[in-house]
Structure 1
Amino acid sequence: MERTRRSLLAAGATAGVVGVAGCLGGGGGDGNGGELSLDTGSYDCSLSEPTDPNLDYRPTLGDPDADVVVRAFEDFTCGHCATYNLDHFPTIREEYVDPARVRYEHWDFPIPVNERWAVPVASAARGVGIRHDDEAFFEFAKAAYESQGNYSGEALGAAAETAGADPCAVLSDAEFSTYEAATQDDRSEGSSMGVEGTPTIFVNGEPVEGGYAAETVAAAIDAEL
């Protein structure tokens, strides 16, 4: 039986609700401060700095021409972002994104909560999306969030395989923070919109008030629809 919208929202709001609090700044926004010196673990990779990265890529799902645009600003090292992605975003995706009712965009906002990993993981995710597609980006992002707190070359390589991507290319992007400039551009855009912590969700340019639970984000989307 097809689940109703009410059941979808209830399922998405059962775990990890923390109210309006998110991950706040404090670590600075200048990236990881240099190369990561990544241990590739069991992956036999000779890492090399990628050339000519596509800094204009925007991870996007849903209808590109939708009247309602959802922007999610995230830090891959923020625990609240992991909660949003793993416990709440699946509901939003099933109810609004997959049926092409909205355009959904991922934006990076490296606070960073963890200065060592924030930009490298964001770079790895962007590289997956550029070399493959947006679906692969979001698959990698989900797998990365599942290993948050235990980031390593091994974990990122495994996330790459989950998304059907080349682990060595992913590890190179992480090692050299290939897309640091793009993540910092996203952060600057977020700051200009008033973002101070993550995750911050905007619906048609207005921040979602009251937190990031699926029910709260859905109410903001419904108001625009």
Structure 2
Amino acid sequence: MTRLSRRGFLASSVALAGGLTGCSGLGSTGPTGEGSADGSDGSSGGTGSTDGTGTAAGDLLPAPVAGDPDADVTVTAWEDYACPHCQTYSTTVYPKVKSDYLDSGSIRYEFHDFPVMDSQVTWQAANAARAVQVEAGDEAYFTYSKRLYENQRRLGPDVYAELTDGLDAGGDAVRQAATNRTYDPTIKASRQAAIDKGLRGTPAVIVDGNEVAWENEIAYAPVRDAIESALNG
């Protein structure tokens, strides 16, 4: 079983430039045997194959969406499944966003992969989640994403399969997508989009084009205030 490396967690302890809180490994060349900062590890990334559902692995998948797809306010979250700060965001901030704004359909919410950590989990977990998206849809994706963060310290191939329990996604297929890194093209494209936007680390949250500024901790108040400003603007 592949577990999140100690090296990966140590990398996350460094504060981002400008005093922002979060994970950043964009300057890293990547650990030997775990994939470089651009996600390359000698694997093919699934080029030219299919995942068993009829979707070409090389096709780019859309960002998973929650809430009202047609809402006037859009929130985009850029995360890395190996980042402990993203775990904090997912387990303490996102549930409040969901109850206050998603359940009522007030906003459109998008998840984007932004691999920054020096860890194999970064890429495998993202691939597992994308396999769930393909097999079972966006709602299942967000359920599975929650489970990934809740089990962050023990993630590995067997856990990726285990966490599909109760979802319309096959555990073996999800495990295979994770270890083969079937959806690397989508994840790499998402990462490049984050870099092009000038994002420096994770979690990054953007509300209608404006990035939420973290101060000393990952907290709900800055996200809430940005959403309220956009809704009332």
TM-score, normalization by structure 2: 0.78
Give the 5 Å matches for 1:81-160: 81-114=86-119, 116-160=120-164
Query: What is the deviation of 1:160?
Result: 1.4
Between the aligned partners of 2:148 and 2:166, the Cα distance in structure 1 is 10
Structure 2: which amino acid aligns with 1:22?
G
SS in structure 2 at match of 1:61: strand
Aligned residue pairs total 196
Between the aligned partners of 2:87 and 2:168, the Cα distance in structure 1 is 21
SS in structure 1 at match of 2:152: coil
Query: What is the deviation of 1:152?
Result: 1.6
Q: Deviations over 1:141-181 (max 9, x none)?
A: 11111111211222111111154421001001101111111
Between the aligned partners of 1:27 and 1:49, the Cα distance in structure 2 is 31
Tell whether the 8 Å contact from 2:23 to 2:117 is kept in structure 1 after alignment: no
User: Within the alignment, does 1:31 sit opposite 2:39 as a pair?
Assistant: yes
Query: What is the deviation of 1:112?
Result: 2.6
Q: Deviations over 1:114-152 (max 9, x none)?
A: 1x1211110110110111111110111111111112112
Query: What is the deviation of 1:66?
Result: 1.0
Between the aligned partners of 2:168 and 2:151, the Cα distance in structure 1 is 17
1:216 corresponds to which residue? 222
Between the aligned partners of 1:151 and 1:32, the Cα distance in structure 2 is 20
Gaps of 5+ in 1: 1-17, 36-47
Between the aligned partners of 1:164 and 1:139, the Cα distance in structure 2 is 11
Query: What is the deviation of 1:31?
Result: 1.3
Picking from 170, 193, 218, the partner of 1:189 is 193
Picking from 65, 68, 76, the partner of 1:60 is 65
1:22 corresponds to which residue? 22
Q: Deviations over 1:75-98 (max 9, x none)?
A: 010000011001110000110111
Between the aligned partners of 2:122 and 2:103, the Cα distance in structure 1 is 28
Tell whether the 8 Å contact from 1:74 to 1:109 is kept in structure 2 after alignment: yes
Structure 1: which amino acid aligns with 2:130?
R
2:202 corresponds to which residue? 198
Q: Between the two proteins, what is the percent identity of the paired residues? A: 35
Between the aligned partners of 1:109 and 1:194, the Cα distance in structure 2 is 12
Between the aligned partners of 1:169 and 1:178, the Cα distance in structure 2 is 10
Gaps of 5+ in 2: 1-14, 30-36, 44-48
Q: Deviations over 1:53-72 (max 9, x none)?
A: 24232200011111110000
Tell whether the 8 Å contact from 2:157 to 2:175 is kept in structure 1 after alignment: yes
Between the aligned partners of 1:77 and 1:162, the Cα distance in structure 2 is 24
SS in structure 2 at match of 1:91: helix
Between the aligned partners of 1:200 and 1:49, the Cα distance in structure 2 is 31
Structure 1: which amino acid aligns with 2:147?
A
SS in structure 2 at match of 1:149: helix
Q: Residues 213 and 22 of structure 1: is their aligned pair in 2 closer, same or farther, counting only changes over 3 Å?
A: same
TM-score, normalization by structure 1: 0.81
SS in structure 2 at match of 1:197: coil
